[in-house]
Structure 1
Amino acid sequence: MRIKNTILLLVILIVLHPINVISASYEESLPDVNLLTSSNTLELTETQESYLSQLSQIEDFVKNNQFSDALNLLINLSNTIKNKRLFSLNTYFPNYFLDYKYIEKDDSELFNDSNYGVLFSKHYRNKRGNVLDVYVIYSDPSIKEYFRLLRNPELIEGVTNLNVVKINKQYYALEKKSDGESIYECNMLVNNKLLVNLVSDSKKEIELFNTFISKSRIDKLEKYLKINSL
């Protein structure tokens, strides 16, 4: 009985408060309005109707004490919204830039929602085999430390292979070169909750990072995540 009551409470909270939970996630899952056409505007309307229909079905399951069915549908709906969100985040970064091309890479074992605060990742490779890995870090405690170091650069004076740089003449970042390896990592601070991590083996890493960020829409990403700038 206690398990049923717990499931019932969780489902009711989501069903009866869709504005705070499902509806909020739905809004975050929408692509940039500047990218919409008449066809995908219709698709978004149909998607919203589908979400509302599934919420109604979940509520019916709860009323009929079909808690397993309600929970399964709720999980499926949550996964659908997460995939929509990933699609939206993907639109803020290019698929091509310079001679680099987006490649699919499974890093789910290294990074996930509960590990390092990674919200999204994207990976690139050129014909020479050079790579660029991009990670969007959101609301992770480590961001506060980067913020502190960038505001107080004297704290890293004398630290080997660690420098404060400015990316695309706009964002301050900590750049680090791995000892004994030609791996360059740049942690670019967007605001106090958002950080973009760039990792590459290119010897022209700053030029690469600058070009990539100039081709990305970080301002749109920031707005999408509804985070205030520093």
Structure 2
Amino acid sequence: MKLSADIAAFSNRLGHDFSRPELLVRALTHSSLSAPTRPDNQRLEFLGDRVLGLVMAEALLEADTGATEGQLAPRFNALVRRETCADVARGIGLGDVLKLGRSEMMSGGRRKEALLADAMEAVIAAVYRDAGFEAAKALVLRLWGARIGAVDPDARDPKTALQEWAQARGLHPPHYVEIAREGPDHAPQFTIVARLSTGEEARATAGAKRQAEQAAAKALLQRMENPDG
């Protein structure tokens, strides 16, 4: 199978020469374009999630030989979560080569965080199926690069950290409210308010609801932990 010029260029950016290029094409094919003769990337995404997890778990163990499971778990979650996978995907221009149906293309699918993250995991699985675990591991370590060493020692999800802060003080879990949505459908901007049962709140705006919630939670937690800052 001969790759198109754009996908061949993407393969070069990955640094992997596929002996079975159809695996890469499948990894880049979203379900909106799937057909009986053109399978999508969902099964590869399922496998790639597990391969990524194993690589990251091993890398974190090697990076900090004295860390406990409780310390490693939030760092692991920070490195494998959707936002990180999507960020890595953007860095290699994965969105430019996604194979999408017309509806997804028109709604900005090439920039959607979930699609990018899923495709990134599918690409990892494609390399794994093509050349084995060591090749997939090398790819992940190269693409994630400095993120592994730079992950915050306390890399808890901001929403989780805020909820734990509230629970430790006998408060109800934080509440998140969408107060505004602006911009076109293919590039929306969401404004979210994170609010505690005591009335304190903080707001943030981002291109995805989850990102806005995370940012609002982080801002509120910082405010509560440093009220004079």
Q: What's the TM-score once normalised by structure 2's chain length?
A: 0.22
Q: Greater CA radius of gyration, 1 or 2?
A: 1
